[in-house]
Structure 1
Amino acid sequence: MLPWKRMLRPLAALLLTATVVIVPATTATAEVDAAASSSGWNNYSCKPSTAHPRPVVLVHGTFANSVDNWLGLAPYLVNRGYCVYSLDYGQLPGVPLFNGLGPIDKSAEQLQVFVDKVLAATGSAKADLVGHSQGGMMPRYYLKFLGGAAKVNALVGIAPDNHGTTLNGLTNLLPYFPGAEDLLSTATPALADQIAGSAFLTKLNAGGDTVAGVHYTVIATKYDEVVTPYRSQFLTGSDVHNVLLQDLCAVDLSEHAAIGLLDRVAFHEVANALDPSHATATTCLSVLG
Structure 2
Amino acid sequence: MHITSITRRLGMAALTLVATATASLGIATPQAAAAPARDPILFVHGWQGSASNWDYMWGRFLGEGYSLGAMARFGYDSSQSNKDIALEVKAQADALRAKTGAAKVDIITHSMGGLNSRWYLKNLGGLDFVDDWVSIGGPNHGTDTANGCADTSCVEMRPGSAFLAELNSGDETPGLVNYGTWWSPCDEIINPDQSTILNGATNTQTLCPGHLTLLSSSTVFEGVRDFVK
With the shorter chain as reference, the TM-score category is 0.7 to 0.9
TM-score scaled by length of structure 1 = 0.64
Tell me the equivalent position of 1:40: none
Tell me the equivalent position of 1:111: 89
Taking the aligned partners of 2:133 and 2:114, their CA distance within structure 1 comes to 8
**For residues 1-289 of structure 1, what are the structure 2 equivalents within 5 Å?**
50-66=35-51, 68-82=52-66, 83-89=70-76, 91=77, 100-167=78-145, 171=147, 184=150, 188-237=151-200, 240-246=201-207, 253-260=208-215, 262-275=216-229
Shift of 1:136: 2.2
Give the secondary-structure state (helix, strand or coil) at the position aligned to 2:144.
coil
Preserved contact between residue 103 and residue 190 of structure 1 (Cα < 8 Å):
yes
Change (3 A) 1:113 1:50: farther
Taking the aligned partners of 2:36 and 2:172, their CA distance within structure 1 comes to 30
Amino acid at match of 2:177: V
Amino acid at match of 1:136: G
Preserved contact between residue 52 and residue 81 of structure 1 (Cα < 8 Å):
no
Taking the aligned partners of 1:192 and 1:54, their CA distance within structure 2 comes to 34
Shift of 1:192: 1.2
Amino acid at match of 2:41: V
Could you tell me which runs of 5 or more consecutive residues in structure 1 were left unpaired when the two chains were aligned. 1-48, 92-99, 175-179, 247-252, 276-289
- Greater Cα radius of gyration, structure 1 or 2: 2
Instruction: Give the share of equivalent positions with the same residue, in percent.
Output: 29
Change (3 A) 1:86 1:166: same
Taking the aligned partners of 1:73 and 1:195, their CA distance within structure 2 comes to 28
Taking the aligned partners of 2:92 and 2:35, their CA distance within structure 1 comes to 23
Amino acid at match of 2:65: G
TM-score scaled by length of structure 2 = 0.80
Amino acid at match of 1:110: E
Taking the aligned partners of 2:81 and 2:104, their CA distance within structure 1 comes to 26
Q: How many residues align?
A: 193
Which deviations, in whole Å up to 9, do the C-alpha atoms of 1:120-170 show, x marking residues without a partner?
000000000000001123211000000000000010111111111013xx8
Amino acid at match of 1:122: T
Shift of 1:228: 0.9
Taking the aligned partners of 1:157 and 1:51, their CA distance within structure 2 comes to 24
Taking the aligned partners of 2:86 and 2:163, their CA distance within structure 1 comes to 12
Shift of 1:116: 0.5
Give the secondary-structure state (helix, strand or coil) at the position aligned to 1:270.
helix
Tell me the equivalent position of 2:31: none
Amino acid at match of 1:256: H
Taking the aligned partners of 1:122 and 1:257, their CA distance within structure 2 comes to 30
